[in-house]
Amino acid sequence: MYNFRTDLALERRDIFKKNNNLDEIDGVETENKEIDENLKVSKVKITNQNGEQAIGKPIGDYITIDIKKLRIAEEDEIQKSAEVLSTELKEVINKHVQSKDDVLVVGLGNMYVTPDSLGPKVINDIDVTRHIIKYLPQYIDENARPVSAISPGVLGTTGIETLEILEGIVNNIKPKLLIVIDALASRSIERISSTIQISDTGIVPGAGVGNTRKELSQRTLNIPVVAIGIPTVVESAVLVNDCLDLFIEKLQNEAKSNDYLNKLKDQDNYEEIKEALNPNDYNIIVTPKEIDELIDNMSSIVARGINMSL
Amino acid sequence: MYNFRTDLALERRDIFKKNNNLDEIDGVETENKEIDENLKVSKVKITNQNGEQAIGKPIGDYITIDIKKLRIAEEDEIQKSAEVLSTELKEVINKHVQSKDDVLVVGLGNMYVTPDSLGPKVINDIDVTRHIIKYLPQYIDENARPVSAISPGVLGTTGIETLEILEGIVNNIKPKLLIVIDALASRSIERISSTIQISDTGIVPGAGVGNTRKELSQRTLNIPVVAIGIPTVVESAVLVNDCLDLFIEKLQNEAKSNDYLNKLKDQDNYEEIKEALNPNDYNIIVTPKEIDELIDNMSSIVARGINMSL
Amino acid sequence: MYNFRTDLALERRDIFKKNNNLDEIDGVETENKEIDENLKVSKVKITNQNGEQAIGKPIGDYITIDIKKLRIAEEDEIQKSAEVLSTELKEVINKHVQSKDDVLVVGLGNMYVTPDSLGPKVINDIDVTRHIIKYLPQYIDENARPVSAISPGVLGTTGIETLEILEGIVNNIKPKLLIVIDALASRSIERISSTIQISDTGIVPGAGVGNTRKELSQRTLNIPVVAIGIPTVVESAVLVNDCLDLFIEKLQNEAKSNDYLNKLKDQDNYEEIKEALNPNDYNIIVTPKEIDELIDNMSSIVARGINMSL
Amino acid sequence: MYNFRTDLALERRDIFKKNNNLDEIDGVETENKEIDENLKVSKVKITNQNGEQAIGKPIGDYITIDIKKLRIAEEDEIQKSAEVLSTELKEVINKHVQSKDDVLVVGLGNMYVTPDSLGPKVINDIDVTRHIIKYLPQYIDENARPVSAISPGVLGTTGIETLEILEGIVNNIKPKLLIVIDALASRSIERISSTIQISDTGIVPGAGVGNTRKELSQRTLNIPVVAIGIPTVVESAVLVNDCLDLFIEKLQNEAKSNDYLNKLKDQDNYEEIKEALNPNDYNIIVTPKEIDELIDNMSSIVARGINMSL
């Protein structure tokens, strides 16, 4: 499989089409909706094996919500985005469970590392009801859905695979559906903490930050897993690699027929660049300076969107 | 059982002795050590059923480390306190497990509520090794002990009992010992975030903040549970009740033989005061204004103490 | 002057009336407005010297906005509270300056101490315009008012009196009006981070947290000073003293004619209690456990209220 | 002047030497000291006008302290780094003032934006004495130096130029020396929050984060200004531009005599790249993911270093 270096189905489709000079891909359908000038919803449907291989993601729907100017968003824009998320999410959830079925919301990430703190922040704002239904049923509407929520932490600070933690909890409290919030990798700086991808085909935690972990999905957990993924960083090697590609393209356009450059373009300089850019084992990332504010706004949207849909 | 309104065995012993005019309690032994002018270690040993009933805690050792002037502590005082904690902790741990046995450290509390954030902060600084031993054994000393760490959150934000979360994880990753960091109730303002109690008889999460939850102990989890408890708040009703007692005592001393006052003193005004002080269902607490700094210093001590002892 | 131990004119009026068995005070008028079940506005007008002496505050208007259940407030309740604040604030500001006059907003307090962080948090959300009007006038409406904002810090961490810092800045940038956000002392736990007092008679920083500093007012700074004060803590000695008073009252009601108790009641136990409660020079406070959340909600209200009124 | 896109005299010297194929620069002397394997001190002395023009910085000494592996630094390494900083700083301070002269420490930056929060964090840990010497002289050694500290905020949130704020304060409290902590621009990712530059030739705030402001120096404030600068981010356009240069070099080495490429190399692609990388007016930065931890460690070092030297 081609290394797309993005988890967004939308970006993968564009890259695949461009690299293969295609107008459309067999097994991949797209639909776009513009809610207003700052809010756009796109659906990528992967419908057959060919689409699966092209995009490198399982058959299913991948909904992308793009929110422009989120950093300076006013309250009403945040509320509107949350409502759009809620509408899309409700549709996905209702495919898998009944209205009173138990749901567990999982926020991946590390609360003490700013660009990685979105998941735990969302969990803090989820309206949990499971304990009220269990211990104080008289205080809650009898049609309320049991909702619980957890931030399991990251392998580097827990020493335990996220899958191992969730397996234990899922076996013990037996929810009917998991909603998992995670960081994604994206190719576009514009999408950092400004785009939401919803899918129901599971998730590989940490993919967005370069540490692939064991898959969380129906296959590994035996219940449906709805993933809400948000790009929070762009890896610096990706950025430079993309710029080099653009640059070589420019050289080719201007110098014409240059075998040497063609060869360079074909080869993937990513690993080489990555090594050069990562001194001291740091995890170098590209992020807007306003990341704290972006994360706060996005975490309001996701928490409200989930609360409204449950 | 008498309602001591403190989880510190040391304070309970003092209250019991005073209330019953005893010089010593059968089944309760005490030992004191002064490390330096700011650092004191006391051991309360409960040795038989009589001691158990008097103190309201199971047979076992309860070690209290008191650190004075922690708020303005310099680095070397913090390091010294961590070393004292480590010495005491090592002794307790070695009673239960071998040097290479798997240990899981659990930090109770809510990271987003300042006086309740100690547990999660400590977890962030634990040197976890389990994943390295499992996935990259070549990078670690072959005698290293597998250590993992988790902050399960609190019932109010997860909707799941801490015991339910830990049961699942313990069954799945099978540690041989649990170290649990939790907030305790204390009667003394001086002890807020300045005292550490170590015991190996389990813990009832949230006792320190007025929300008793299911016990975490060998009985419920089938492995030994070492508890590290730190008082972080004093309930305001406790404070006022204690002041009233002192005040009535003063009245009695001065007015002598006053049947009416005697009656007042015997009755417990706690519940009444509690109700008066808790408008709007807030959880009113008494805390030093410098609580942020105290929590930071104490969390360094506990994390280092645990790291050195494992 | 009687030591009210509250900075709220409203509470002082009530205490004075009760202590002197008055139905009304000459020179003090009150007006109440109920916006909805959770939102109430009261105006205390001090109209002459007698009122001034009774309440211990200069002639002027003191507007109090009480917001119930702020901790669990939804977005629309926060917005409504901000609008009420803005209406009242606009009226006070318009008494002193023209619509294009330069205003400097000052947030007192220490951002690193949770119950003291309200002022700096508000400053972070003020829409400042002074630099745009000065350097990029083409990007802003020509009728825009120059607004600037500063958090000068607290004496304990700066070593400089707030008045000294502000004098320098005021002399240098010459605003026409100061809006100062500060913590106040209150007698009521219910009002912690849930009440706003607006006045135009200046402010004594730190009064709310027991460290009286030099006055900020027209007298010391030569420009009008509008104060927005929010109770953020109750001193524990105040709490206990109030409880003792209630308790002695109860004793008196039941035991009747007790000279000894009468004497106790007359004497003020505050200083004695204060000493007993303040070990180690900590600043012991009483606060809701949910203070982080209360401060966040209140800081949104104040920032929006100021932004709308400027 | 050449646009170095770094504020570190050391990096500028290297770039100038490389671009001009020089072994040494007239008017620029260097001295290196290796304290241990993780700690290195370099001094760049600019001694005449030629050096001034080459490096683009005024005649004076520029001391650089490089600390390796700061993210995982243990307490003793932090303490050692603070001592090295203190030694160098003391020497610079003593050139300008006497041991009892009043010093004001200024922490530039925005506490609410992680990569910009170093200055305010350091200020919070400075041992201020000015108010004690002024109000409680009996509590302090009579030889103590008056030290005060302030975080004036940034133009974007205050609407006031840092110079305007400091002018006012300096005129009012009349310190004899300013120590200013600021973020710097660097070309090297390795230096982010791991390098300290000390100089006594003043500072231009915000230079490190792309928003040049009015100079703070003896010339503008009439007292000596010692600057402590720490690189906290690398601009993404700088990173990509540097990579392109390396890449073109590689093309040239391999393809030889390519006029077209030579031309490309000569032209500066920075502005073009900058525009392409900055969608939505975000300030895109390159930073280690561990920036929160790096800032915490560096802020300890700087605060301790300053405290020891004053």
Over residues B163-170, the mean pLDDT reads 94
Residue A40 has pLDDT above 50, yes or no: yes
Over residues C257-283, the mean pLDDT reads 58
Q: Do D8 and D198 contact (CB within 8 A), yes or no?
A: no
pLDDT for the residue B288: 79
Q: Supply the DSSP string of chain A, one letter for each residue.
A: --------HHHHHHHHHHHTT-S--TTEEEEEEEEETTEEEEEEEE-SHHHHHHHTS-SEEEEEEEETTGGG--HHHHHHHHHHHHHHHHHHHHHH--TTS-EEEEE-S-TTSGGG-HHHHHHHT----HHHHHH-GGGS-TTPPPEEEE----HHHHSS-HHHHHHHHHHHH--SEEEEEEEEE-S-GGGTTTEEEEESS-B-TTGGGT-----BSHHHHSS-EEEEEEEEEEEHHHHHHHHHHHHHHHHHHHH-S-HHHHHHHHS--HHHHHHHH-GGG--EEEEETTHHHHHHHHHHHHHHHHHHH-
Is A263 contained in some domain?
yes
Contact flag B79-D79 (C-beta cutoff 8 Å):
no
Low-confidence winner among B155-169, C271-285, D180-194 (lowest mean pLDDT): C271-285
Considering only CB atoms, A160 lies closest to which of B155, B156, B173, namely: B173
pLDDT tens, B15-53? 899 888 888 899 999 999 999 988 999 999 999 999 999
pLDDT for the residue C209: 44
Which helix (H) or strand (E) segment is D115 a member of? none
The whole-angstrom separation of Cα B191 and Cα A124 is 29
Low-confidence winner among A148-162, A219-233, B260-274, D34-48 (lowest mean pLDDT): B260-274
**Are C91 and C185 in the same domain?**
yes
pLDDT tens, C172-214? 999 999 999 998 878 887 788 889 999 999 887 755 444 557 8
Q: Which amino acid is at B81?
A: S
> Helices (DSSP H) in C68-185: which residue ranges?
75-96, 118-124, 130-135, 155-158, 162-173
**Are D169 and D213 in the same domain?**
yes
Is B198 contained in some domain?
yes
Residue A267 has pLDDT above 70, yes or no: no
pLDDT for the residue D210: 47
Over residues B136-152, the mean pLDDT reads 92
**Are D81 and D106 in the same domain?**
yes
Contacts of A79 in chain C (CB under 8 A): 75
Is D1 contained in some domain?
no
Residue of chain C whose alpha carbon sits nearest to that of D146: C159
**Are D162 and D244 in the same domain?**
no
Q: Do A194 and D284 contact (CB within 8 A), yes or no?
A: no
Q: Predicted confidence band at B263 (pLDDT cuts at 50, 70, 90)? A: low
Is A43 contained in some domain?
yes
Contact flag A160-B129 (C-beta cutoff 8 Å):
no
Among candidate residues A7, A14, A40, the one with its CA nearest the CA of residue A28 = A14
pLDDT tens, C294-303? 888 899 999 9
pLDDT for the residue A252: 65
**Are B110 and B250 in the same domain?**
no
Q: Pick from A289, A290, A291, A294 the residue to mutate for testing the D interface (most D CBs within 10 Å).
A: A289
pLDDT for the residue C19: 83
Whether D123 has its CB under 8 Å from any CB of chain C: the answer is yes
Low-confidence winner among A262-266, B212-216, C197-201 (lowest mean pLDDT): A262-266
Query: How close, in Å, is residue A101 to chain D by CA atoms?
Result: 38
Query: How close, in Å, is residue A128 to chain D by CA atoms?
Result: 29
Specify the residue for token string 């813990």: B203
**Are D133 and D257 in the same domain?**
no
Residue of chain D whose alpha carbon sits nearest to that of B75: D75
Is B2 contained in some domain?
no
**Are D154 and D195 in the same domain?**
yes
**How far is CA C301 from its chain centroid?**
14
The answer for C 74-113 residues in CB contact with A (under 8 A) is: 75, 79
The whole-angstrom separation of Cα A310 and Cα A294 is 24
Over residues B93-102, the mean pLDDT reads 94
pLDDT for the residue C210: 47
Query: How close, in Å, is residue D76 to chain B by CA atoms?
Result: 10
Over residues B190-198, the mean pLDDT reads 89
Contact flag D71-A239 (C-beta cutoff 8 Å):
no
Q: Which amino acid is at B305?
A: G
Chain C: touching chains (3 or more CB pairs < 8 Å): A, B, D
Contact flag B172-A159 (C-beta cutoff 8 Å):
no
ipTM value, please give it: 0.85
Q: Predicted confidence band at D275 (pLDDT cuts at 50, 70, 90)? A: low
Considering only CB atoms, A150 lies closest to which of B129, B130, B160, namely: B160
**Are A100 and A24 in the same domain?**
yes
The whole-angstrom separation of Cα B262 and Cα D1 is 88
Is C298 contained in some domain?
yes
**Are D111 and D250 in the same domain?**
no
Residue B120 has pLDDT above 90, yes or no: yes
**How far is CA C116 from its chain centroid?**
12
Beta strands A225-235; A195-199: pairing state:
antiparallel
Over residues D233-248, the mean pLDDT reads 71
Q: Predicted confidence band at B249 (pLDDT cuts at 50, 70, 90)? A: low
Specify the residue for token string 């604030």: C89
Please report, rounded to a whole number, the percentage of residues in chain B having pLDDT higher than 70. Answer: 82
Mean of all residue pLDDT scores within chain D: 85
**Are D55 and D146 in the same domain?**
yes
Q: Predicted confidence band at D208 (pLDDT cuts at 50, 70, 90)? A: very low
pLDDT for the residue B208: 45
pLDDT tens, C8-33? 999 999 989 988 888 889 999 999 99
Question: CA B113 → CA B120, B135, B180, B209, D308, distances in Å?
Answer: 11, 35, 19, 12, 34
Residue of chain C whose alpha carbon sits nearest to that of A74: C304
Whether B23 has its CB under 8 Å from any CB of chain C: the answer is no
Which helix (H) or strand (E) segment is B223 a member of? none
How many domains are there within chain A? 2
Domain CATH code at residue C106:
3.40.50.1450
- The parent domain of residue A25 ranges over 9-232+290-309
Contact flag C286-B291 (C-beta cutoff 8 Å):
no
The whole-angstrom separation of Cα A255 and Cα B159 is 64
pLDDT tens, B53-77? 999 899 999 999 999 877 667 778 8
Whether B279 has its CB under 8 Å from any CB of chain A: the answer is no
Q: Is D120 helix (H, G, I), strand (E, B) or coil?
A: helix
The whole-angstrom separation of Cα B144 and Cα B102 is 10
Q: What is the phi-psi region of residue D211: left when phi exceeds 0, alpha when psi lies from -120 to 50, beta otherwise?
A: beta
pLDDT for the residue A185: 78
Q: Do C27 and C17 contact (CB within 8 A), yes or no?
A: no
pLDDT for the residue A261: 60
pLDDT tens, C102-116? 999 999 998 888 888
**Are B166 and B245 in the same domain?**
no
Q: CA end-to-end span of chain A, whole Å?
A: 37
Q: How many CB atoms lie within 10 A of CB D47?
A: 14
Is C2 contained in some domain?
no
Query: How close, in Å, is residue C79 to chain A by CA atoms?
Result: 9
Whether C287 has its CB under 8 Å from any CB of chain B: the answer is yes
Over residues B73-86, the mean pLDDT reads 88
Low-confidence winner among B226-235, C153-162, D211-220 (lowest mean pLDDT): D211-220
Residue B262 has pLDDT above 70, yes or no: no
Q: Predicted confidence band at B250 (pLDDT cuts at 50, 70, 90)? A: low
Contacts of A132 in chain B (CB under 8 A): 159
Over residues C238-267, the mean pLDDT reads 63
Q: Do B97 and B169 contact (CB within 8 A), yes or no?
A: no
Contacts of C79 in chain A (CB under 8 A): 75
Mean of all residue pLDDT scores within chain B: 85
How is residue C196 written in tokens?
Answer: 């706003």
Q: Predicted confidence band at B206 (pLDDT cuts at 50, 70, 90)? A: low
Is C213 contained in some domain?
yes
What is the pTM (predicted TM-score) of this model?
0.84
More confident residue, D90 or D207: D90
Contacts of B112 in chain C (CB under 8 A): 292
Please report, rounded to a whole number, the percentage of residues in chain A having pLDDT higher than 70. Answer: 82
How is residue C205 written in tokens?
Answer: 């920083």
pLDDT for the residue B209: 44
pLDDT for the residue B170: 95
Over residues C91-97, the mean pLDDT reads 95
More confident residue, B177 or A267: B177
Whether B282 has its CB under 8 Å from any CB of chain C: the answer is yes
Residue B202 has pLDDT above 60, yes or no: yes
Q: Which amino acid is at A178?
A: L
Query: How close, in Å, is residue D248 to chain C by CA atoms?
Result: 39
Q: Which amino acid is at A198?
A: I
Q: How many CB atoms lie within 10 A of CB C34?
A: 11
**Are A168 and A77 in the same domain?**
yes
Over residues C222-242, the mean pLDDT reads 83
The whole-angstrom separation of Cα C254 and Cα C231 is 35
Considering only CB atoms, A159 lies closest to which of B131, B151, B160, namely: B131
Q: Predicted confidence band at A209 (pLDDT cuts at 50, 70, 90)? A: very low
pLDDT for the residue D214: 83
Q: What are phi and psi of D184, to 5 degrees?
A: -115, 160
Q: Predicted confidence band at D61 (pLDDT cuts at 50, 70, 90)? A: very high
The whole-angstrom separation of Cα D56 and Cα D234 is 20
How is residue B115 written in tokens?
Answer: 């006086």
